[in-house]
């Protein structure tokens, strides 16, 4: 982030005509934080951001509006720009102004994708993450997957655009500290079947927590749901689910369940295809084309879309998530569609 970019953020022809000077200032500050948090987050930076966030209700509201836009538009290309020229800051500000003035989805996307094309050197990757995901200790980039081993031997595999925090909490009278993993965004495969009953591990999301007992399970944030939910799916072992801190349920092997702070959805059957990403593939079984593109967008920079006229076309197949360009070409060929790039980061499938 450059000091020279501040004037561009705070005033100019791109300022929202509906925003007061105070609102424009908060939007500019939020944009600066969005960019600053990508440069490397240490304890002081986290604390400084939190102080800014909590200093006024308007700060929290602007930040929340941006994260809600991210949640409504999965796969969004979160602007890129040159740090030297300050383009990253300008794109961030424009995106936030679009949200603050409640402009349409398409216009916000044009602002973000347009900023990506304007970049000449460097980039700022705006990861698809919820509110606290920006400050998470461990994050995966677009298309990245990562495997971690915790102190108790538990193995975590993070999928693309995921964010977690890990901490140990010492419990009075307990022989060992409880390890807590907070999933802020994305999804992770958790395996704590080795040794003991796994009672020292707790998995948290914004909707509640999961205590896995010698289990292999998937935990996924579902921001596309209305309201957003968490999915827990147990392949082996069992797990205790607590929604909103007051309602609990037990999941056995072969069961899956969605929940939010208000409670649980009905139990569903475990689906092997939910873990296909661990093998580098995405499995579509009679899936709508627009849903397939939404899932595929998580593995590439940019925005994927299709004409409304073809959005409901059904697709069945197995697709390699690490070569999304080839997947798009194959979809266009087999469905008789045209693949068009509006920009380098905005691909469309059209009739």
> 241: pLDDT confidence band, cut at 50, 70 and 90?
very high
Token pair for residue 59? 């700060």
pLDDT of residue 6: 30
DSSP secondary structure of 156-175: EEE-TT-EEEEEEEPPTT-S
Element (H, E) at 224: none
Indicate if the pLDDT at residue 60 is higher than 90.
Answer: no
CB 59, CB 53: distance < 8 Å: yes
Indicate if the pLDDT at residue 34 is higher than 80.
Answer: no
Q: Spell 187-200 as b/e; 16+ CB within 10 A means b.
A: bbbbbbbeeeebeb
pLDDT of residue 134: 57
- Interacting residues of 13 by C-beta distance below 8 A, sequence separation 6+: none
pLDDT of residue 49: 80
pLDDT of residue 112: 39
pLDDT of residue 89: 40
pLDDT of residue 105: 40
pTM over 0.75: no
211 or 173, greater pLDDT: 211
Domains of the chain: 3-126 (no CATH), 136-274 (2.60.120.1440), 280-350 (3.55.50.30)
Backbone torsion region of residue 20, taken as left when φ is above 0, otherwise alpha when ψ lies between -120 and 50, otherwise beta = beta
Element (H, E) at 86: none
Indicate if the pLDDT at residue 97 is higher than 90.
Answer: no
pLDDT tens-digit series, residues 206-215: 999 999 999 9
Q: How many beta carbons lie within 10 A of that of residue 57, not counting itself?
A: 8
263-to-131, 231, 244, 247, 280 alpha-carbon distances in Å:
22, 12, 7, 6, 33
pLDDT of residue 307: 92
Token pair for residue 270? 């475990």
227 upstream amide cis, omega within 30 of 0: yes
CB 186, CB 159: distance < 8 Å: yes
Least confident of 82-86, 141-145, 292-296: 82-86
Closest C-alpha among 159, 264, 160, 162 to residue 208:
264
63 or 263, greater pLDDT: 263
Indicate if the pLDDT at residue 326 is higher than 90.
Answer: yes
Indicate if the pLDDT at residue 293 is higher than 80.
Answer: yes
117 or 147, greater pLDDT: 147
Pairing of strands 281-288, 314-320: antiparallel
> 272: pLDDT confidence band, cut at 50, 70 and 90?
confident
């Amino acid at each position: 982030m450059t000091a020279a970019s501040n004037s561009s953020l705070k005033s100019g022809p791109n300022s929202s005509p509906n925003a007061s000077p105070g609102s424009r200032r908060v939007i500019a500050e939020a944009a600066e934080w969005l960019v600053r948090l990508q440069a490397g987050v240490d304890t002081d930076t986290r604390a400084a951001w939190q102080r800014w966030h909590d200093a006024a209700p308007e700060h929290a509201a602007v930040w929340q509006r941006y994260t809600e836009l991210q949640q409504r538009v999965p796969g969004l290309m979160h602007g890129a720009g040159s740090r030297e020229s300050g383009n990253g800051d300008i794109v961030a500000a424009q995106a936030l102004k679009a949200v603050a003035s409640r402009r349409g989805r398409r216009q916000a996307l044009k602002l973000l994708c347009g900023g990506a094309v304007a970049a000449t050197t460097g980039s700022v990757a705006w990861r698809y993450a919820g509110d606290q995901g920006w400050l998470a200790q461990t994050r995966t980039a677009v298309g990245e997957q990562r495997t971690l081993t915790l102190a108790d031997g538990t193995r975590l595999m993070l999928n693309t655009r995921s964010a977690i925090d890990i901490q140990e909490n010492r419990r009075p009278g307990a022989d060992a500290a409880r390890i807590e993993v907070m999933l802020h965004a994305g999804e992770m495969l958790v395996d704590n079947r080795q040794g003991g009953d796994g009672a020292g591990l707790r998995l948290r999301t914004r909707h509640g927590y999961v205590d896995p007992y010698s289990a292999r399970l998937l935990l996924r944030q579902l921001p596309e749901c209305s309201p957003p939910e968490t999915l827990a799916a147990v392949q082996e072992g069992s797990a205790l689910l607590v929604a909103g801190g007051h309602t609990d349920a037990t999941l056995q092997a072969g069961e899956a369940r969605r929940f939010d702070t208000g409670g649980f959805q009905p139990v569903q059957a475990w689906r092997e295809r939910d873990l296909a990403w661990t093998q580098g593939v995405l499995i579509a079984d009679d899936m709508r084309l627009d849903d397939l593109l939404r899932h595929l967008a998580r593995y590439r920079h940019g925005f994927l879309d299709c004409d409304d006229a073809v959005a409901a076309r059904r697709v069945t197949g197995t697709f390699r998530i690490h070569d999304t360009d080839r997947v798009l070409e194959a979809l266009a060929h087999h469905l008789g569609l045209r693949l068009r790039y509006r920009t380098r980061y905005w691909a469309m499938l059209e009739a």
